[in-house]
Amino acid sequence: MQAVPTAAPAASYNILKRREAMIAYLFIAPTLIGFLVFVVGPMLIGIGISFYKWNLLTPPVFVGLDNYTRLFSGDPRLGTIYGTTVRLALLVITCNVGLGLFFAILLDRKMPDLLRNFFRLSYFFPFVVSGAAVAIIWTFLFNKDLGPLNYYLRLLGVSERINWLLSSTWSPVAIIITDVWKNVGFYVLVFLGGLQGISRDYYEAAEVDGATGWQQFRSITLPLLTPTILFLLVISVIGALQIFDQPNILTQGGPGDATRTIVMYIYEQGFKFFDMGYASTLALSLFVIILILTIIQFRLSRRWVFYQ
């Protein structure tokens, strides 16, 4: 008597579960198919192509490790290009993180709402404008003879007219200025979020103990901002090593290779010289570097990141 009513629900429960799983697979199918075709597929194909020489016109030729030999010892430009990429990335990250924190601290105080909104909007707006549009605006601002930047620098007493886009000293500076102009607002807002997340109690306690503003910054603000700093470092390392739009439009990598980044080089090898094998090898090298740097950052973070 008892077996019948329990067995029937169990069976129908199993059917229900199977039905639910079927529906779930249908729900994830579009994402899964897209993921296989456009993420997993290209990763595997990229590894495959790195063992071939292929210009897209003639059939691919298997060349073994030739592309890797070239990567590690046979490409005199690669050292310069990776050097430029890393140098640009370090400077861009330092400027963005430093200035972002600086302006966020200035913004994190009592002030009229209107003023605060104006500052927030003006700092953040360049961030939503496309990197291509930003680079085009700055091509004109950086113009040696007619550019507003040199004009105002002259009023400030800089007598030399700087050749921003064609000098190997100044063109990396131009890229950094453009990047900071576009992105610093993002860092300001993330830091502002971090600062507002710090409990006021800490500061009140510190004031009772007579700590100065600088002491409060060193021993409260900075340690409690370390999770925010880690987050910003991780995403900006990934982003900064892939800089492409600005140098491609502002300087086309020049003069020489002074502003050529690794992604520009991948683009050039793949779509100008049609060396698909070497372009894929270069892309894999960038992937491995980003992966290693990200892992290192998380490992090291245990030593310097504090959570409230």
Partner 1 sequence: MSTLAEQRTAALNTPAQRIRKPFPLRQLVAYLILGIGSVFLVAPFVWILQAAFGETSKAFVIPPLWLPVNPSLDNFVSAFEQVPFHLFTWNTLKIAVAVTAGQLITCSLAAYAFARLQFRGKNVLFFLLLSSLMIPSQVTLVPTFIIMRQLGLYNTHASLILPALISPFGVFLLRQYFLTIPAELEDAARVDGASVFTIYWRIILPLSGPVLTTLAILTFVAQWNSYIGPLIYINKIELQVITVGLTLMRGRFGEGALGPIAAGLFMAVVPVLIVFLLLQRYIIKSVVTTGIKT
> Phi first, then psi: what are they for 2, rounded to 5°?
-75, -30
Nearest distance from residue 303's CB to partner 1, in Å? 22
From 38, 273, 304, 306, residue interacting with partner 1 (rule: CB under 8 A): 38
80 versus 119: smaller Cβ distance to partner 1:
119
42 torsion bin: left (phi>0), alpha (psi -120 to 50), beta (else): alpha
Listed ranges 1-9, 67-75, 82-90, 286-294: which one lies at the site for partner 1 (CB under 8 A): 286-294
Q: Does 294 bind partner 1 (CB under 8 A)?
A: yes
Q: Does 127 bind partner 1 (CB under 8 A)?
A: yes
Q: 3-state SS of the chain? A: CCHHHHHHHHHHHHHHHHHHHHHHHHHHHHHHHHHHHHHHHHHHHHHHHCCEECCCCCCCEECCCHHHHHHHHHCHHHHHHHHHHHHHHHHHHHHHHHHHHHHHHHHCCCCCHHHHHHHHHHHHHHHHCCHHHHHHHHHHHCCCCCCHHHHHHHHCCCCCCCCCCCCCCHHHHHHHHHHHHHHHHHHHHHHHHHHHCCCHHHHHHHHHCCCCHHHHHHHHHHHHHHHHHHHHHHHHHHHHCCCCHHHHHHCCCCCCCCCCCHHHHHHHHHHCCCCHHHHHHHHHHHHHHHHHHHHHHHHHHHHHCCCC
Instruction: Kindly write out the interface string for residues 141-180 of this chain, putting x where it contacts partner 1 by CB under 8 A and - elsewhere.
Output: x-x-xx-x--x-----------------------------
Residues 200-239 that bind partner 1 (CB under 8 A): 204, 207-208, 231-232, 235, 238-239
Residues 63-122 that bind partner 1 (CB under 8 A): 103, 106-107, 109-111, 115, 118-122
Listed ranges 25-33, 72-80, 83-91, 167-175: which one lies at the site for partner 1 (CB under 8 A): 25-33
3 versus 221: smaller Cβ distance to partner 1:
221
From 8, 10, 13, 17, residue interacting with partner 1 (rule: CB under 8 A): 17
| Amino acid letter, 31 | T
Nearest distance from residue 7's CB to partner 1, in Å? 22
37 versus 300: smaller Cβ distance to partner 1:
37
Residues 244-273 that bind partner 1 (CB under 8 A): 244-245, 249, 263, 266-267, 270-271
Listed ranges 67-75, 88-96, 168-176, 284-292: which one lies at the site for partner 1 (CB under 8 A): 284-292
From 82, 101, 172, 185, residue interacting with partner 1 (rule: CB under 8 A): 185
Listed ranges 4-12, 65-73, 84-92, 282-290: which one lies at the site for partner 1 (CB under 8 A): 282-290
